[in-house]
Amino acid sequence: EMMKSPAVLLLLSVSTTTAFLTSPSLARHSIVSAVSLDRLKFRSGALSGVRMGLRIEQDEKSVGTALCSILETEYKKTASAKGNFAFSISGGSMLKMLKNLDGKSGIDWSKCTMGFVSHRCVPLDDDAATYHKARPLFLQSWMDQGLKVITVTGTTDAEKEANAYEAALKAVPESVLPRNAEGFPVFDLLLIGVGTDGHVGSIYPNLPDVESKRVVVPVTQPVTKPVKISLSLTTMLAAKASVVACAGKSAKAPLGKAEAMVRGLEGDETAMSFPASALRHKATWLLDEDSAVLLKKK
């Protein structure tokens, strides 16, 4: 089911693997990342605009329902305009949320191409692989209906996987995944989780990865096993639309992420100190009431 070559795009449907080639021309899209990431600093006094991008739901289940609704809405809007839809998802609790779209939905998955915001560098059938975790929840159903998936090649080498994944993204036709003026892929939608330390994808604070100008970053710090790859923050900022979803509690966040949401949406932060803050004025922030409880009322 997997292709061995790291230089070839892996587009996985049920039993077929298709390689796409792309033209060298660059689509014309504006880019947010022209501003140096180390200067992306947002103060709580400038929050009037962000409230339009803040959506609060009652609980984790409601956030999951809303997330799936946003995915369907963005698909319909985009597919009607260009005939296809390219999006990427995060792992973790988001996988449980996306389970709401298992089976039939308003999405024609044969028109969709999906990637991962981040992924561990492991074989695809490894228990730690987001691909493997997602498959029984919803991904197999989507692939059965024609979804194409861009994924890792399955080695444990972060640099090799980052290069392979970037090559895979470049191999997608620009009619499906355009490039902006700086050559970064422009996803129609990114679904992004956030950590208590502000990491998005696998871009962690106070590390050189935050300022990377690569499309895909090999993540080896903080030291984790297995290592990971992640879309760079610059790539995330290039997307047409994005959702930062935060809800519920977990082993990593037993008290929830309310304090982290204050830092992300209202704190005097930089992208380096709290990477999620770079998406403050870019993304729709989808929170449950517990996660939003400490935010200023506006």
Q: What does the pLDDT read at residue 145?
A: 96
Q: What does the pLDDT read at residue 112?
A: 98
Proportion of the chain above pLDDT 70, given as a percent: 82
* Residue 30 pLDDT > 70: no
Q: What does the pLDDT read at residue 256?
A: 79
* Residue 138 pLDDT > 70: yes
The three-point CA angle 118-241-128 to 5° equals 15
Q: What does the pLDDT read at residue 296?
A: 87
Higher pLDDT, 45 or 263: 263
What the block records as the tokens of 191 is 């679904």
Q: What does the pLDDT read at residue 46?
A: 30
Task: State the total domains in the chain.
Answer: 1
Higher pLDDT, 83 or 9: 83
Query: Pairing between strand 284-288 and 148-149?
Result: unpaired
At 199-213, the pLDDT tens digits run 999 999 999 999 999
Whether 231 maps to a domain, the answer reads yes
* Residue 8 pLDDT > 70: no
At 139-166, the pLDDT tens digits run 999 999 999 999 999 999 999 999 999 9
At 67-120, the pLDDT tens digits run 999 999 999 999 999 999 999 999 999 999 999 998 889 999 999 999 999 999
Whether 157 maps to a domain, the answer reads yes
CATH of the domain at 58: 3.40.50.1360
At 229-240, the pLDDT tens digits run 999 999 999 999
End-to-end CA distance of the chain: 51
Residues 6+ apart with CB under 8 A from 241: 74, 188, 189, 190, 284
In this structure, which amino acid lies at residue 181? Answer: A
Whether 47 maps to a domain, the answer reads no
* Residue 47 pLDDT > 50: no
Domain residues for the domain of 226 are 53-101+108-251
Whether 39 maps to a domain, the answer reads no
Proportion of the chain above pLDDT 90, given as a percent: 74
Phi-psi group of 212: left, alpha or beta (phi > 0 → left; psi -120 to 50 → alpha; rest → beta): beta
**Are residues 66 and 247 in contact, defined by beta-carbon separation less than 8 angstroms?**
no
* Residue 18 pLDDT > 60: no
User: How many other C-beta atoms are found inside a 10 Å radius of the C-beta of residue 125?
Assistant: 12
Q: What does the pLDDT read at residue 38?
A: 35
Whether 25 maps to a domain, the answer reads no
Q: Report, as an integer, the average pLDDT of 274-280.
A: 97
Whether 119 maps to a domain, the answer reads yes
Instruction: Calculate the average pLDDT of the chain.
Output: 84
Whether 23 maps to a domain, the answer reads no
Whether 147 maps to a domain, the answer reads yes
At 252-268, the pLDDT tens digits run 776 679 999 999 999 99
* Residue 222 pLDDT > 90: no
pTM of the model: 0.83
Can you tell me the distance from the alpha carbon of 208 to that of 210, in angstroms, rounded to the nearest whole number? Answer: 5
Q: What does the pLDDT read at residue 120?
A: 96
